[in-house]
Amino acid sequence: MPGKKAAIGQFASVNHMRRALLGTGAAALAAGLASPTFAGQAAPAGLAAAWRKALRIGVAISNETLDGQVARDLDLIAREFNSVTAENAMKWGVIRPDGVNWQWQRADRLVEFAARHDMYVLGHTLVWHSQIPRTVFNDQDGKPLTRAALLGRMEEHIATLVGRYRGRVHAWDVVNEAVDEDKGWRHSPWHDIIGDDFMEQAFRFARKADPAARLLYNDYNTHNPAKVAFLVDVFRGYRERGVPIDGVGLQSHIGLDYPDFDEFERSIAAFEALGLEVHITELDVDVLPNPNEKGAEVSNRFEYSRENDPWPNGLPDEVQKQLADRYEQFFRMLLRHRTSVKRVTFWGLHDGVSWKNGFPIRGRTNYPLLFDRNMRPKPAYERVMQLARAAL
């Protein structure tokens, strides 16, 4: 096994060697899967292999994994997933921390790792109001940019980032979270300076930078009928006017008892009816008490209380089972929409690194993913695997 800080390149070859020795891995054998399909590489085992006939299974890679080139994380990712998203590394404020100068190392590592493993790569995200320095929206005197100047900045950002990874990043979350629940366009500097067309401009710039990449709009609470109705209207207009959008990303930061899956499924059907691809982009299932009625609105924070952090030392079996049930129901729903749903991406590799331990309340112990804090598969993992075996 590679050392903890093995370079990604080193890791990949050792991993390949290990796979070659072990065949396609116990999970793949148990699933009755055939031999490798990727040229010169072993097929992924685990989740990605089990679901291969229906959709891709992705994971968000953290900055910590990329910075440390943590072999243990990358090994699990290569075994279980066939798609990756940078959890933070490609956001404006992370890849251009001072607003202007580029820090490519993390994103480069992610793209190289993915290429070595034939993974489908998501670029997240080009135009968002969060995790972006305020200076992006101001001129040298600190005054708000004009519409023309901000459009220029947007185009330069998209052309440079999408252009660098042309052909290697397969789909982009072009615009993230542009809609404010029941009220239409969200007020953000992007919207307020440029106007309602800021989003379509972003899609046009992205298409120009990589004509082959799939271009997505990504948002949370996409089960909310008012939000969906607004978006469906916007996208119908895009279709009519030739604005280059290919699909919609449903973040899917869900809980044990929200949202209502019938409502969620109606949203999938509504986007599907427009001929859009549907991607589940940031799946996790929060098991803790939820004070946040606004879903994944990242500016919402609440005070810590012991009452809101009921299971610091482990999840009770009963809740573990509820989590497995919930995941099974979710994947069953996706199976009903196999033609339009292309991918499911989990927002984090294991419970220990999930953003849900810190959001919307800091310092809690949450259990939203399929791997536990020791990176072992949970009952929910087994359930998702069983469903694939039974249904595909």
Query: From CA 184, how far away is CA 226, in angstroms rounded?
Result: 9
87 is an interface residue for ligand XIL by CB under 6 A:
yes
**Amino acid making up residue 362:** R
Which among 80, 87, 200, 282 is annotated as catalytic? Answer: 282
Based on CB atoms, which residue is closest to ligand XIL, 12 or 154?
154
Site string for ligand XIL, 359-388 (x = CB under 6 A): ------------------------------
CB 277, CB 246: distance < 8 Å: yes
**Alpha helices per DSSP H over the chain:** 8-22, 26-30, 46-50, 63-68, 71-80, 92-95, 105-116, 147-164, 189, 198-209, 225-241, 261-273, 317-335, 379-391
Note if 177 is an active site residue: yes
Query: From CA 95, how far away is CA 107, in angstroms rounded?
Result: 8
Note if 282 is an active site residue: yes
Residue keyed to tokens 């040298």: 140
Query: From CA 42, how far away is CA 17, in angstroms rounded?
Result: 9
Number of residues that bind ligand XIL (CB under 6 A): 8
Based on CB atoms, which residue is closest to ligand XIL, 12 or 76?
76
Among 88, 340, 357, 365, binds ligand XIL (CB under 6 A): 88
Q: Nearest approach, Cβ of 356 to ligand XIL (angstroms)?
A: 9
The DSSP code for 294 is: T
By CB under 6 A, what part of segment 284-313 binds ligand XIL?
296, 298
Residue nearest to ligand XIL (CB): 355
The DSSP code for 302 is: B
Site string for ligand XIL, 41-80 (x = CB under 6 A): ----------------------------------------
251 is an interface residue for ligand XIL by CB under 6 A:
yes
Q: Nearest approach, Cβ of 87 to ligand XIL (angstroms)?
A: 5
- What burial letters (b/e) apply to 247-261, b meaning 16+ CB within 10 Å? bbbbbbbbbeeebee
Residues of the shown chain interacting with ligand XIL in the complex, contacts defined by CB under 6 A: 87-88, 176, 251, 282, 296, 298, 355
Q: Where in the sequence numbering do the catalytic residues fall? A: 177, 282
